[in-house]
Amino acid sequence: MIYKKYGEVFKKLRLQHHLLLSDFERVGLSKSTLSYFENGKSMISLDKLDLALQEMHTTFRSYMLMINNDEEDYWLSQFKEIEKAYFSNDLKKLQAIYMKNVKYDMEENQVIALSAKACYTKLSTDEIKYIENKLKSYQVWHSYEMYILVNTLEEINP
């Protein structure tokens, strides 16, 4: 099942913390529910998962990193590379990030490419409009949107 890894990682954490299935009953998870989850037969609600992770002193972010084999989301790693290249004035690295991402027609890759490009040269009018339209379309902002804004701020009309 597609959700199997969620339960497997949870079980590893639970065993690492020497906790029994019954230890999670205090947060509203029965032994059978947790067993089904750990065996990939069902999912549990996000609020219950968060409470269970708190019992193991594990953040949701750490748990997701474990599920993704300790790899950050692609966009986050790319924006960190942009930041590193910008502050070390590594124009070749910024250009490489641009070239790596511009060839893909996905929004994530396009905004990463333009964010990198904006750090070493002017964006075209169409590129500026593209970024401005993307930023205006986001109703809920988080790290992803902030990275786009920070890297393109000198080029756009906020």
Q: In the predicted model, what is the mean pLDDT of residues 103-130?
A: 95
What single-letter DSSP state applies at residue 124? P
Is 158 part of a structural domain of the chain? Answer: no
Domain's final residue, options 25, 40, 67: 67
Q: Do residues 78 and 148 share a domain?
A: yes
Q: Do residues 41 and 91 share a domain?
A: no
Domain's final residue, options 67, 84, 113: 67
Q: Do residues 15 and 38 share a domain?
A: yes
State the CATH number of the domain containing residue 26: 1.10.260.40
Q: Do residues 49 and 98 share a domain?
A: no
Domain's final residue, options 19, 44, 67: 67
pLDDT of residue 81: 96
Q: Do residues 86 and 148 share a domain?
A: yes
Asked whether 116 and 127 are in contact (CB, 8 A), the reply is no
Q: Do residues 80 and 59 share a domain?
A: no
Task: Count the neighbouring beta carbons within 10 Å of the beta carbon of residue 128.
Answer: 17
Least confident of 60-74, 121-135, 139-153: 60-74
Tell me what percent of the chain is helix, strand and coil, each rounded to the nearest 5.
70, 0, 30
Is 157 part of a structural domain of the chain? Answer: no
Is 114 part of a structural domain of the chain? Answer: yes
Task: Please say if the pLDDT value at position 1 is more than 60.
Answer: no
Q: Do residues 82 and 144 share a domain?
A: yes
Query: Could you tell me the pTM of the whole model?
Result: 0.62
Q: Do residues 11 and 32 share a domain?
A: yes
What 3-state DSSP class applies to 45? coil
- Structure confidence at residue 70 as a pLDDT band (50, 70, 90): low
Instruction: Compute the C-alpha angle 33/35/37, nearest 5°.
Output: 70
Average pLDDT score over the chain = 92
Tokens of 33: 């529910």
- Structure confidence at residue 144 as a pLDDT band (50, 70, 90): confident
Look-up of token digits 């032994």? 31
Look-up of token digits 């970024």? 131
Q: Do residues 55 and 121 share a domain?
A: no
Q: Which domain holds residue 19?
A: 4-67
Q: Do residues 79 and 148 share a domain?
A: yes
> Residues near 12 by Cβ (< 8 Å), separated by ≥ 6?
66
Asked whether 72 and 65 are in contact (CB, 8 A), the reply is yes
Least confident of 41-45, 58-62, 66-70, 136-140: 66-70
Task: Please say if the pLDDT value at position 130 is more than 90.
Answer: yes
Residues listed for the chain: 158
Look-up of token digits 């950050």? 72
